[in-house]
Amino acid sequence: MSSLTVYHQSSPEYPNKLLTHLEDIASTLAAVGVQFSQVPVQQAVTAGTASDELLAASRVQIDQLMTAHGYTSAEVLSLCDERGEGSELARSLRAEQRCQPAHLHYYLAGRGLLALHIGEYVYSLLCEKGDLVRLPAGTAHRFDGGEHPRFAVLRLFDSPQVAVFTPLTGDFAAAFAGLDDC
């Protein structure tokens, strides 16, 4: 079940809100310009499957989402690390970063914690299969797949060029609960 925990940046150990109802999550995020909804995944997806295979297998739904939301490029992040050995992908996603084009995250399989740093608050969104999250351009965020990451996430961008994610300095995000702490 998806959930949203909201923290003030000055008190990472004490959440202001913990929400589990879809409507409450969507309205809280909408107030800061983030769109959240749930869309059933139309095909079976296994976390860890090669990205190009997932793009091909999901092409019909990807095209529908791109048309509906006006996106022009897509990529899939897919990882299944049962032994917890870690990977460069998982480590890079855990670092707080920004992406200039607006983009959409669609969770095809597994789960992860998408933490958004907006103003003085951190919105930690536990995302699961079928969750659709649209981030405005420049939103500071990080993604934590946990100690044993298992996820497949489609990212759509409103720019035809490959999106560039800019890491933010400092370790601000590490002060807040990660996926394994939820």
Predicted pLDDT of residue 160? 80
Q: Which of 88, 138, 101, 148 is nearest to 116 (CA)?
A: 138
What whole-number distance in Å separates Cα of residue 73 and Cα of residue 160? 5
Please state the pTM of the whole predicted model: 0.90
Contact at 8 Å (CB) between 4 and 128?
A: no
Of 159 and 18, the structure prediction assigns the larger pLDDT to 18
Q: Please report, for residues 4, 10, 25, 82, 108, the alpha-carbon distance to residue 87 in angstroms, rounded to integers and kept in the order given.
A: 26, 30, 30, 12, 20
Domains belonging to the chain, first-starting first, are: 3-172 (2.60.120.10)
Contact residues for 129 (Cβ-Cβ < 8 A; gap 6+): 41, 45, 107, 108, 109, 110, 111
What number of CA atoms fall less than 13 Å from residue 22's CA on the CB side?
10
Sign of the four-CA dihedral 160, 162, 167, 172:
positive
pLDDT tens for each residue of 38-92: 999 999 999 999 999 999 999 999 999 999 989 999 999 999 987 665 677 777 7
β-partners of residue 31 are none
